Amino acid sequence: QVQVVESGGGLVQPGGSLRLSCAASGRLFSIYTMGWFRQAPGKQRDLVATITGRGEINYADSVKGRFTISRDNAKNTVYLQMNSLKPEDTAVYYCNARVGVQTFWGQGTQVTASS
């Protein structure tokens, strides 16, 4: 099985920064896609950013220019650097790993941007 564990969430003031980490372990292939999603109360879970094993990246329009996704394949870890955080970024952030035909999700980490 594959396990996905997020870390790095917390409370920051608007305009602040956080870096989230997501470590995947278990039965992983050498090439797979990892991504970040977020879900605010009463809202659907939306894509934030994805990165393929080849380094191809996609961002949601709402975070372009503020968030940066990266990965360390040797560590099976993906990162999300979040700068210039806004109150509307407040949500539970979930990491996933897409391996073959399966998708594995972490438990989520809370990010709150509030004064």
pLDDT (0 to 100) of residue 31: 62
The pairing of strands 46-51 and 57-59 is antiparallel
Q: Residue 7: what pLDDT?
A: 97
pLDDT of 30: 61
At 24-51, the pLDDT tens digits run 998 876 668 999 999 999 999 999 999 9
**What tens digit of pLDDT does each residue of 45-102 get?**
999 999 998 899 999 999 999 999 999 988 889 999 999 999 999 999 999 999 888 8
66 closest CA partner among 45, 46, 88: 88
Tell me, what's the pLDDT at 28?
76
